[in-house]
Chain A
Amino acid sequence: MNPTLGIFFVILLITIGITYWAAKRTSTTADFYAADSRLTAAQNGFALAGDWCSAAAFLGFTGLTALYGMDGAFYALGPLVAFCTVLFLIAEPMRNTGKYTLGDVIRSRMQTRTSLLAAIAGTVVVNFAYLMPQMAGAGVLVRLLTGISYDWAVIFVGVSMIVYVAFGGMLATTWVQIVKAVLMLSAGAIILVMILAQVHFNPLTLFADAEQKYTAKYLLPGNYLKNPFDQISLGLGYTLGLAGLPHVMTRFYTVPDARTARRSVVWVMFLAGAFFAGTTLFGLAAADFVGQDAIRAADKGGNLTLPLLAQYLGGGKGTFGGDLMLGFVAAVAVATILAVVSALTLSTSGAIAHDFYVNWVKRGQVEGKQEVWLARIAAVVIGVLAIALGILAQGVNVAVLVILAICVAASANFPVLILSLFWRRFNTGGVVGGMTVGLASSVVLAMIGPAMRGADALWPLVNPTVVSLPLGFLGAVLGTLTWGRDKENEQRFDAFLLQVHTGVAAK
């Protein structure tokens, strides 16, 4: 039997078991969206690692480093540094002021229906821009690894995520993420030890071999990110965009208090950070051992670098060890996608069922029991939509959507969130202004850039964050000033501050 399918079948059985267990413990709205806020710091730290490391991180960073050298290492460093922003400025206030969604934070600050709509728009756009390439990536990956057709692969991934989320809610999603994180870190640790054994535990050899094989230029920046401003955009997009990704930020609602939220960030920084640092060594090792030609032959974008490296380290093609290692890494890659798409589906269901239907349409007048069912139905509908979009996306260039997701998160969601938490005069006009300008500038610039139009680009940068992020802030400030002074809102800010910093709402 194909080892990939075998190992993956075992992972699938475990996650279905988790879902069955979680479903019996999911009855209230708080259970469904936030696992009743009872996770420990370590549990949430592992889940955050499972949530934040997408297939792009698991497979992409290694591939980029193998093919382009230092730029791949930049891709891997950013997502760790991003957690400094989250740790210092976002995690604890988020825990203290919200309940289930990003919209909750904006709503409790502004208490206007318009600002809630703006927050919903930001969440839905970012989540779908992130979800669609994950589904398309799942289709390609599962087809490459198992031979199942693209459409069936997308349907399989989509149905699994619908089952996890609709039945097991946040508890099942969390444990799927924890299982995935443990598998991913184990795979990383095994590969690292095997690489080090090859070079007699002297990692410097990896650099020397790479330089000898591909010249010193390979170890310089700029092989992938040719435009210097793209390098800066990447950095800004990561450091400020993570804080605007609703599916990661809602993880802070699963812990009881700000202190636990903070400690879970420290956990994820060590867990995910160690893995990211590892990918740089994996990439160099793959370039040395497997070779760039073989990597490109398997997949032009380098996305199969890590499986190929694992196969080499296990003994090579056709050996039992080689097949086993390849199967293990490939199965973990699929688990990685499942964990991320589940979180995206859950977070989008929060924006649609909780923010839009319950709080906007029904003005909060919905019974608890009914709200859980609404959330489950929303999850199924979103899942089906994701499957349809995933199938439609076959052969379409989805790279632009990946950039768009992080760019909108940094340029629209982040300015609105940070100003809501820290600026007294910030008002509904600012929320609308920041969201509109951040969203519009990201979408327009990404669409006319090289990621979408290739050589016909009307604008030179692949990633427009370096321009759209300041524009988003400008929109937020101008919106605030145009709206005019809102005395009541400014007075309420004192009470809001108490809640931001203590988690206790003044009566």
Chain B
Amino acid sequence: MARNETLLEAAHALGAAHASVKQLIAEKLKYLVPMTVIFMVSYIGLTILAGFARGLMGTKVIGSVNLGFVLIAFNYLLSWGLAIIYGRIAADKFDPLAARAAMEISANGRSR
């Protein structure tokens, strides 16, 4: 009987871990999909413009600096900005969920 109960507990703990990880993945998707789309569109879009809209890229913006260089500078700032935002979100939202799931997995290991 006792053996069955611990097995049941173990299965329960692992089930909880799976549920927590599912929640974590859903949370990650919510942020990572839009962030990935943003940098890919911004950067690959820039290379497409550079390939097919060379005249547009030459539009003067500030002095001799043209639109192409402005967009390149924008992509630097965007990458750095997204990196900082990702670091924040991961620490605030992902890490606690991951820690909970990790605890539930370990609980499963112990009760075996």
Contact = CB atoms under 8 A, between A and B. Distances in A.
Nearest to A269: B83
A280 B72 CA distance: 10
B50 A266 contact: no
Contact of A231 (B32, B51, B76, B105): B51
B47 A219 contact: no
Nearest to B75: A77
A394 to B, nearest CB: 34
Contacts of A208: 63-64
Interface in B12-45: 14, 17-18, 21, 24-25, 28, 32, 35-36, 39-40, 43-44
B13 to A, nearest CB: 10
A220 B87 contact: no
Contact of A263 (B73, B80, B87, B98): B87
Given A77-B76, A204-B64, A504-B106, A228 B24 contact: no
A84 B82 CA distance: 8
A222 B108 contact: no
Given A89-B36, A503-B102, A235 B64 contact: no
Given A259-B95, A502-B21, A83 B76 contact: no
Contacts of B46: 235
A456 to B, nearest CB: 24
Contact of B47 (A210, A234, A280): A234
Contacts of A204: 62-65
A219 B58 contact: yes
B82 A219 contact: no
B98 A219 contact: no
Scoring A239, A258, A266, A502 by chain B CB atoms within 10 A of each residue's CB, the highest score goes to A502
B1 interface: no
B79 interface: yes
B65 A207 contact: yes
Given A259-B95, A270-B80, A222 B87 contact: no
A80 interface: yes
Interface in B41-75: 43-44, 46-48, 50-52, 54, 57-58, 62-66, 68-69, 72-73, 75
Interface string A254-270: 00001100110110011
A439 B12 CA distance: 44
A80 B63 CA distance: 26
Contacts of B18: 494, 498
Contacts of A280: 72
Contact of A507 (B44, B52, B58, B108): B108
A506 B108 contact: yes
Contacts of B99: 502
B58 A258 contact: no
Interface residues of B, number: 53
A396 B24 CA distance: 51
A211 interface: yes
Nearest to A280: B72
A497 B21 contact: yes
Given A70-B68, A497-B25, A83 B83 contact: yes
A232 B36 contact: no
A259 B14 CA distance: 23
A71 B51 CA distance: 10
A501 B47 contact: no
Interface in A230-276: 230-232, 234-236, 239, 258-259, 262-263, 265-266, 269-270, 273
B98 A502 contact: yes
Contact of A229 (B51, B72, B73, B75): B51
Nearest to B14: A506
A235 B46 CA distance: 9
A316 interface: no
Nearest to B42: A81
A73 B47 contact: no
B45 to A, nearest CB: 9
A277 interface: yes
Which 3 pairs of residues, A with B, have the shortest CB-CB distance?
A228-B51, A235-B47, A221-B50
Given A73-B69, A232-B47, A506-B105, 19 more contacts: A70-B72, A73-B68, A77-B76, A80-B79, A207-B65, A219-B64, A220-B68, A229-B51, A230-B51, A235-B43, A270-B80, A273-B76, A273-B80, A497-B21, A501-B25, A501-B101, A504-B101, A507-B108, A507-B112
11 contacts: A70-B68, A87-B86, A88-B32, A204-B65, A207-B65, A207-B69, A208-B63, A208-B64, A230-B51, A232-B47, A506-B14
